[in-house]
């Protein structure tokens, strides 16, 4: 039953792709290609078909990888990649982008059934990694990687893995939170008796022991859990900035000192419960704000794209694998299909068709001939080429962009967030209130003066203020994450709320990578001509043929009598009495064609010129609508690395005031943004490729658009899934609303502060008042911001 439905839909049993016309049927299941069928066979033989029960069509098509992983036999590379190595055992953690469902976890944790030398494999779903332990005398890293690739889980190994070394997991915040929570809970229980049973004989007898126990429990809370606040306050004072941590640190120290004095001289029971509660709530806020997307990286540079090793052809003509960093000027290197060129070089041998979309943002591949210069960052898209390196990796054109200062600068420096803006006034106000109140009491009742002074500092400790921003932003980060808008950290939301200029890249950002449109211009083709055209395109692997093939209407499949592909020129095909030529203007015999900027494919039938197909970018859905919404509030600019071919199209599509700037190199984009920032613009840059990396880093907020968030996007502040591109405006508006929510919660916490200050100034601050007021204000702020942001999030959907 299940299979039948699948047969009808004609989707692949393994990967779920449409099988098209080349369905392979095996065991009554359809497969789109031999690769998928092979994976099924492997699982079938090893009793692992449970894989398909957990999730429908969970797999990926295994890729052609011949020779790609030869470098994994090299000692120094294994040494760098493995986590642990002994004579018989190796442990390696591999990043596998395809991990996406429970089937993936299941199959990867059952690797030992496919290779008995693998003793253990453990998946971390969030990070999309698998940690494999294997017997290194019987098998090796290369075989493990090949095994994974053969079942469609090809690991991604890049230059980044090579340098990073052993990763250190930072767990200090959890420890601090645990200790504060432990202290808070226990101190609360110990302080309860004194709140309820005053002057009871039994309590009088034991209260000292209770108090000193509370003191003991509060020591680790103050000196370990709260240490970040002291450090930050000290740094703030040193830099002459009144940040929010100063009143917090002041409050904590006053609480601790006063409570200790109180119990030492038997004046009262102290405020230990409020103290531990304060630290605990503050840390919960910190923890909540620390939402991280383990599977995303916001810090990528070219190293994540580059391979670790490359095949070098040495002087004797043998191939050997060397590390990318070891490439020297003059080395001959071999680049296979789909491999990235890691250094600038000169093409020696082979037919190069280079996809430079990483570097320049240009959408079309470029054909290069022997003797031409190739830049690092280009991807070879057909066959094998040989080139001679003319620079080393670090000096290549693409990698030099990363030596620009913007990449070493931290965007958060020099940005005062909303909490610290308010804390400046807050701290000064609180200190003046404390001093005035103390002065007043010095004249009326000096014995109370010290009591009032400390009480003001305790009650004014801005716990609620410090919690507003973390909880609002933390919750919004989660809501955005569910809507496929992944933000690096909370301060990005604040910056996003302040922008006034939006700059877009063109290729891949407002245009979609997947499809382009073609328009036919010329003499109408007859039905048979159309039939031959479609069928000849079917046989060609050229990217333009593939695109055109999918755009044209469906026709029957016929056998062509003659089919010939002239590389770099076009296709010639014959059926019955029609001889069709498809390709460049020269090839088709229309020399009169003047150079145009758009990509065209020409057609002639029986040597009579018929017409041409012109390719246009296909823009993402809702681009026009989005721009019209944005134009009311922001300056709009398109900065494109492409030529001006699309200018007219864009003019029609976008609001009139949008600035269109073409032929921008990566450095030009960066400079453009820098210039406008110096004129006071707050820039949001939306881009996609490595060519935007500089601009994304320079802008106030850099958003990378990604068709598939698991595939790599350059260093940025946020990653937006392409399917949600049209929502960008509402995301910016939501960020602005978040700032409003925070301002309202500030008001709410001021209200609590005023109540507290009344008790403090009049000298009636009892520990029980503080113990009620502090958690109450904190919790109500958390509830308020959470409800507000959830309402905000509901509006977004």
Partner 1 sequence: MSVIYIVLTVSVIVGIAFFIIFLLAVKSGQYDDSYTPSVRMLFEDELVKEELKESINTKTD
Q: With binding defined as CB under 8 A, does residue 234 bind partner 1?
A: no
Q: Is 91 exposed, middle or buried (0-12, 13-18, 19+ CB in 10 A)?
A: middle
Angle at 184 between CA 178 and CA 187, to 5 degrees: 135
Directed axis angle between helix 34-45 and helix 141-150, to 10°?
110
Per CB under 8 A, the list member of 9, 18, 45, 174 interacting with partner 1 is 174
Query: Residue 109 or residue 667: which is nearer to partner 1 going by CB?
Result: 109
Query: Residue 98 or residue 506: which is nearer to partner 1 going by CB?
Result: 98
User: Nearest approach, Cβ of 776 to partner 1 (angstroms)?
Assistant: 25
Place of tokens 């009480």: 455
Per DSSP, what are the bridge partners of residue 122? 131
Per CB under 8 A, the list member of 19, 33, 39, 123 interacting with partner 1 is 123
Q: Is 75 exposed, middle or buried (0-12, 13-18, 19+ CB in 10 A)?
A: exposed
User: Nearest approach, Cβ of 125 to partner 1 (angstroms)?
Assistant: 4
Q: With binding defined as CB under 8 A, does residue 403 bind partner 1?
A: no
User: Nearest approach, Cβ of 8 to partner 1 (angstroms)?
Assistant: 15
User: Nearest approach, Cβ of 47 to partner 1 (angstroms)?
Assistant: 7
Q: Within its chain, how far is the Cα of 95 from the centroid?
A: 15
Query: Which segment (71-79, 117-125, 667-675, 686-694) binds partner 1 by CB under 8 A?
Result: 117-125
Q: What is the DSSP string of 759-779?
A: HHHTT---HHHHHHHHHHHHH
Q: What are phi and psi of 11, to 5 degrees?
A: -105, 155
User: Nearest approach, Cβ of 106 to partner 1 (angstroms)?
Assistant: 6
Which DSSP letter does residue 311 get? E
Query: Residue 124 or residue 395: which is nearer to partner 1 going by CB?
Result: 124
Residue 522 near residue 612, CB atoms below 8 Å: yes
User: Nearest approach, Cβ of 26 to partner 1 (angstroms)?
Assistant: 17
**Nearest in space to 563 (alpha carbons), one of 582, 548, 546:** 582
Per CB under 8 A, the list member of 42, 54, 348, 552 interacting with partner 1 is 54
Query: Residue 125 or residue 563: which is nearer to partner 1 going by CB?
Result: 125
Rounded Cα distance, 671 and 503, in Å: 13
Q: With binding defined as CB under 8 A, does residue 224 bind partner 1?
A: no
Q: With binding defined as CB under 8 A, does residue 290 bind partner 1?
A: no
User: Nearest approach, Cβ of 210 to partner 1 (angstroms)?
Assistant: 8
Rounded Cα distance, 207 and 204, in Å: 6
Query: Which segment (118-126, 158-166, 366-374, 588-596) binds partner 1 by CB under 8 A?
Result: 118-126
Which DSSP letter does residue 402 get? G
Q: With binding defined as CB under 8 A, does residue 45 bind partner 1?
A: no
User: Nearest approach, Cβ of 185 to partner 1 (angstroms)?
Assistant: 8
Residue 189 near residue 234, CB atoms below 8 Å: no
Which DSSP letter does residue 405 get? G
Query: Which segment (84-92, 169-177, 331-339, 736-744) binds partner 1 by CB under 8 A?
Result: 169-177
Rounded Cα distance, 729 and 758, in Å: 45
Q: With binding defined as CB under 8 A, does residue 9 bind partner 1?
A: no
Per CB under 8 A, the list member of 42, 82, 125, 450 interacting with partner 1 is 125
Starting from the edge strand earliest in sequence, which strands make up the sheet with 366-368, in order? 366-368, 352-355, 379-380
Query: Residue 171 or residue 797: which is nearer to partner 1 going by CB?
Result: 171
358-to-531, 632, 660, 714 alpha-carbon distances in Å: 36, 32, 21, 10
Q: With binding defined as CB under 8 A, does residue 219 bind partner 1?
A: no
Query: Residue 114 or residue 237: which is nearer to partner 1 going by CB?
Result: 114
The dihedral of CA 711, 712, 716, 717: what is its sign? Answer: positive
User: Nearest approach, Cβ of 469 to partner 1 (angstroms)?
Assistant: 24
Query: Which segment (75-83, 177-185, 412-420, 780-788) binds partner 1 by CB under 8 A?
Result: 177-185
Query: Residue 130 or residue 499: which is nearer to partner 1 going by CB?
Result: 130
User: Nearest approach, Cβ of 205 to partner 1 (angstroms)?
Assistant: 8
Q: With binding defined as CB under 8 A, does residue 102 bind partner 1?
A: yes
Q: With binding defined as CB under 8 A, does residue 758 bind partner 1?
A: no
Residue 90 near residue 82, CB atoms below 8 Å: yes
Binding pattern for the stretch 130-159 against partner 1, x by CB under 8 A and - elsewhere: ------------------------------
How many residues bind partner 1 (CB under 8 A)? The answer is 26
Dihedral angle at the C-alpha atoms of 654, 659, 665, 670, nearest 10 degrees?
-120
| CB atoms inside a 10 Å sphere around CB 301 | 18
Rg (CA), the chain: 33
User: Nearest approach, Cβ of 127 to partner 1 (angstroms)?
Assistant: 7
Per CB under 8 A, the list member of 61, 65, 213, 552 interacting with partner 1 is 213
Per CB under 8 A, the list member of 23, 150, 186, 624 interacting with partner 1 is 186
Per CB under 8 A, the list member of 178, 481, 645, 655 interacting with partner 1 is 178
User: Nearest approach, Cβ of 122 to partner 1 (angstroms)?
Assistant: 8
User: Nearest approach, Cβ of 102 to partner 1 (angstroms)?
Assistant: 5
User: Nearest approach, Cβ of 193 to partner 1 (angstroms)?
Assistant: 11
Q: With binding defined as CB under 8 A, does residue 201 bind partner 1?
A: no
Q: With binding defined as CB under 8 A, does residue 126 bind partner 1?
A: yes
**Nearest in space to 298 (alpha carbons), one of 165, 477, 424:** 477
Per CB under 8 A, the list member of 50, 436, 567, 772 interacting with partner 1 is 50
User: Nearest approach, Cβ of 109 to partner 1 (angstroms)?
Assistant: 7
User: Nearest approach, Cβ of 198 to partner 1 (angstroms)?
Assistant: 18
Per DSSP, what are the bridge partners of residue 579? 574
Per DSSP, what are the bridge partners of residue 123? 130
User: Nearest approach, Cβ of 110 to partner 1 (angstroms)?
Assistant: 8
Residue 635 near residue 648, CB atoms below 8 Å: no
Q: With binding defined as CB under 8 A, does residue 563 bind partner 1?
A: no
Q: With binding defined as CB under 8 A, does residue 120 bind partner 1?
A: no
Per CB under 8 A, the list member of 8, 169, 315, 747 interacting with partner 1 is 169
Strands 89-95, 129-135: pairing is antiparallel
Starting from the edge strand earliest in sequence, which strands make up the sheet with 701-706, in order? 485-487, 718-721, 701-706, 683-687, 501-504, 635-639, 659-661
Q: With binding defined as CB under 8 A, does residue 292 bind partner 1?
A: no
| Residue 729, SS3 per DSSP | helix
Q: With binding defined as CB under 8 A, does residue 106 bind partner 1?
A: yes
Query: Which segment (99-107, 139-147, 468-476, 751-759) binds partner 1 by CB under 8 A?
Result: 99-107
549: which residues sit within 8 A by CB, 6+ positions away? Answer: 534, 537, 538
Query: Which segment (176-184, 330-338, 425-433, 630-638) binds partner 1 by CB under 8 A?
Result: 176-184
One-letter-per-residue 3-state SS of 531-572: HHHHHHHHCCCCHHHHHHHHHCCCCCCCCCCEEEEECCCEEE
| CB atoms inside a 10 Å sphere around CB 156 | 16
Per CB under 8 A, the list member of 26, 182, 520, 587 interacting with partner 1 is 182
Place of tokens 């057609």: 603
Per CB under 8 A, the list member of 166, 168, 171, 657 interacting with partner 1 is 171
Rounded Cα distance, 707 and 107, in Å: 26
Q: With binding defined as CB under 8 A, does residue 209 bind partner 1?
A: yes
171: which residues sit within 8 A by CB, 6+ positions away? Answer: none
Residue 46 near residue 35, CB atoms below 8 Å: no
Query: Residue 279 or residue 374: which is nearer to partner 1 going by CB?
Result: 279
Can you give the binding site for partner 1, defined by CB under 8 A? 1-2, 47, 50, 53-54, 102, 105-106, 109, 123-127, 169, 171, 174-175, 178-179, 182, 186, 206, 209, 213
């Amino acid at each position: 039953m299940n299979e039948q439905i699948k047969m009808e839909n004609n989707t692949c049993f393994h990967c779920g792709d449409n099988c098209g016309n080349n369905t392979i049927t095996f065991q009554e299941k359809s497969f789109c290609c031999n690769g998928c069928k092979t994976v099924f066979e492997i699982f079938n033989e090893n009793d692992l078909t449970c894989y398909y029960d957990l999730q429908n069509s969970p797999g990926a098509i295994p890729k052609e990888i011949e020779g790609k992983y030869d470098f994994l036999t090299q000692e120094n590379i294994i040494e760098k990649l493995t986590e642990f190595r002994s004579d018989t055992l190796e442990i390696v953690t591999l990043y596998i982008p395809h991990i996406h469902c429970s089937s993936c976890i299941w199959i990867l944790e059952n690797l030992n059934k496919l290779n008995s030398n693998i003793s253990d494999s453990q998946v971390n779903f969030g990070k999309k990694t698998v940690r494999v332990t294997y017997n290194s005398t019987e098998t090796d890293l290369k075989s493990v990687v090949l095994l994974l690739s053969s079942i469609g889980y090809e690991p991604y190994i890049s230059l980044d893995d090579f340098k990073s070394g052993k990763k250190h997991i930072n767990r200090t915040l959890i420890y601090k939170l645990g200790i504060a929570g432990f202290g808070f809970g226990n101190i609360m229980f110990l302080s309860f008796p004194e709140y309820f049973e005053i002057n009871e004989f039994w309590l009088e007898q034991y209260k000292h022991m209770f108090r000193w126990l509370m003191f003991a429990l509060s020591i680790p809370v103050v000196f370990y859990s709260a240490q970040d606040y002291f450090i930050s306050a000290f740094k703030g004072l040193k830099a002459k900035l009144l940040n929010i941590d100063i009143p917090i640190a002041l409050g904590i120290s006053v609480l601790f000192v006063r409570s200790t004095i109180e119990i030492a001289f038997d004046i009262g029971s102290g405020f230990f419960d409020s103290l531990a509660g304060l630290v605990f709530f503050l840390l919960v806020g910190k923890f909540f704000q620390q939402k991280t997307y383990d599977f995303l990286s916001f810090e990528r540079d070219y190293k994540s794209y580059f391979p670790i090793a490359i095949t070098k052809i040495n002087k004797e003509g043998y191939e050997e694998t060397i590390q990318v960093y070891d490439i020297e000027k003059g080395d001959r290197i071999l680049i296979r299909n789909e491999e990235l060129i890691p250094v600038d070089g000169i093409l020696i041998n082979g037919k190069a068709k280079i996809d430079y979309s990483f570097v320049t943002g240009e959408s079309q591949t470029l054909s290069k001939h022997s003797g031409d210069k190739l830049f690092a960052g280009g991807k070879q898209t057909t066959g094998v080429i040989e080139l001679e390196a003319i620079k080393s990796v670090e000096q290549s054109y693409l990698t030099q962009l990363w030596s620009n200062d913007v990449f070493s600068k931290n965007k958060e420096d020099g940005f005062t967030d909303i909490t610290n803006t308010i804390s400046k006034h807050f701290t000064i106000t609180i200190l003046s209130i404390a001093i005035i109140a103390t002065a007043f009491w010095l004249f009326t009742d000096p014995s109370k003066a010290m009591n009032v002074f400390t009480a003001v500092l305790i009650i004014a400790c801005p716990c609620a203020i410090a919690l507003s921003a973390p909880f609002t932003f933390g919750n919004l980060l989660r809501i955005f994450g569910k809507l496929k808008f992944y933000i690096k950290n909370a301060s990005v939301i604040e910056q996003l709320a302040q922008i006034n200029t939006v700059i877009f890249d063109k290729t891949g950002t407002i245009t979609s990578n997947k499809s382009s449109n073609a328009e036919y211009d010329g003499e109408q083709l007859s039905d048979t001509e159309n039939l031959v055209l479609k069928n000849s395109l079917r046989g060609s692997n050229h990217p333009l043929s593939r695109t055109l093939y999918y755009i044209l209407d469906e026709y029957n499949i016929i056998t062509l009598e003659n089919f010939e592909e002239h590389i770099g020129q076009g296709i010639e095909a014959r059926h019955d009495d029609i001889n069709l030529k498809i390709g460049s203007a020269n090839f088709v015999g229309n020399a009169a064609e003047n150079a145009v900027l758009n990509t065209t494919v020409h057609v002639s039938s029986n040597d009579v010129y018929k017409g041409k197909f012109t390719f246009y970018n296909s823009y993402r859905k809702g681009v026009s609508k989005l721009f019209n919404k944005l134009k009311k509030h922001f300056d709009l600019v398109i900065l494109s690395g492409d030529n001006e071919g699309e200018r007219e199209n864009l003019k029609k599509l976008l609001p009139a005031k949008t600035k269109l700037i073409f032929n921008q190199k990566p450095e030009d984009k960066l400079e453009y943004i820098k210039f406008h920032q110096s004129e006071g613009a707050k820039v949001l840059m939306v881009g996609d490729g490595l060519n935007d990396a500089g601009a994304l880093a320079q802008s106030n907020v850099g958003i990378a658009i990604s068709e598939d968030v698991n595939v790599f996007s350059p260093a940025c502040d946020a990653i937006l899934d392409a399917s949600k591109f049209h929502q960008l405006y509402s995301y910016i508006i939501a960020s602005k609303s978040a700032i409003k929510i925070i301002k309202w919660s500030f008001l709410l916490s001021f209200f609590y502060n005023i109540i507290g200050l009344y008790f403090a100034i009049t000298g009636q601050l009892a520990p029980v008042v503080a113990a009620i007021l502090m958690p109450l204000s904190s919790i109500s702020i958390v509830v308020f911001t959470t409800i507000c942001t959830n309402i905000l999030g509901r509006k977004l959907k």
